[in-house]
A and B are shown apart, each in its own frame.
Chain A
Amino acid sequence: MTERNLFRSVVIYIMSFVVIGLSGCSVFSKKTPAETAANTAYYMCAGCHGSDKVRVNFMTPNIIGQKKGYLVSTLKDYRDKKRIEPLMNGAVAGLSDQEIDSLADYYSNARLDK
């Protein structure tokens, strides 16, 4: 009986590590497209295009609050190499239509803090 209990607790102990390990995996933390877009914007766009808090002005266009339709068509042109701008072509090369749509949605709804 004692051995059985010990075995059980050891199994639970090991399982807890598995659960903790898995819980940190991004595969299991489901993100909505909007959250993914916010993440993409933070990690990929904000460095050059600025965030809602900070405006950077090194010849990068201001896209905060820009029209959604324009952003979508521009991003697709960049992705499909219809418009050549090496930085942007590389940056958006891996985006799907869905991701472009939610990213454009994110930026068209964003407003500059002032």
Chain B
Amino acid sequence: MKQDFKMIALVRVISSLFILGVAQTVLANEPTETHIDHHRHMGGHMHMHMSDDHAMDPNSPRFANAKKLADKACADCHGKAGISKTDDNPNLAGQDALYFCKTMYDYRSRARNLPPIKTNDGLYVPNMNEVTDKLSDQDIVDLSEYYAHLRAQ
């Protein structure tokens, strides 16, 4: 009789430990995701959406300049709305404006180089270095805000 009690107690201990172990594995495999209210967390002054910071007035001359440039120089490869049709060309819509500027300056100054591109049909596609040669500093800033703006729509 005494033996039985001992066994029951043991089984209980073992089974509870086992449950603990299972719980541990389940929790360890759960993708860790912490939901933090970042706006409150950072004092409410942090702007998370680039488009909020760089809201561009669609009627402004800078917007018109950017749109003209974008349709002429960028749209063929990166899409009219900044979403490119091919997998190899990056989307531009919603791109961080500062990063966009940096990339354009890097291409223009040859800090970043792209090899010449030729399609299978033998067509010559200007690479980014050649495209950015024609852009002024102001053009680049306008374009960066134009593409950051596209995300908001």
Contact = CB atoms under 8 A, between A and B. Distances in A.
Contact of A67 (B24, B38, B90, B98): B90
Given A20-B18, A20-B20, A54 B38 contact: yes
Contacts of A60: 96, 99
B125 interface: no
Contact of A9 (B10, B29, B35): B10
B88 A70 contact: yes
A62 interface: yes
A5 B3 contact: yes
B44 interface: no
B73 to A, nearest CB: 18
Contacts of B47: 57
Nearest to B33: A42
B51 to A, nearest CB: 9
Contacts of A54: 38, 48
A87 interface: no
Contacts of B86: 67, 69
Interface of B: 3, 6-7, 10, 13-14, 17-18, 20-22, 24-25, 28-29, 31-33, 35, 38, 47-50, 53, 84, 86-91, 94-96, 98-99, 102-103, 112
Interface of A: 2, 5, 9, 12-13, 16-17, 19-20, 23-24, 26, 29, 31, 35, 38-39, 42, 50, 53-57, 59-62, 65-70, 73, 83, 112, 114
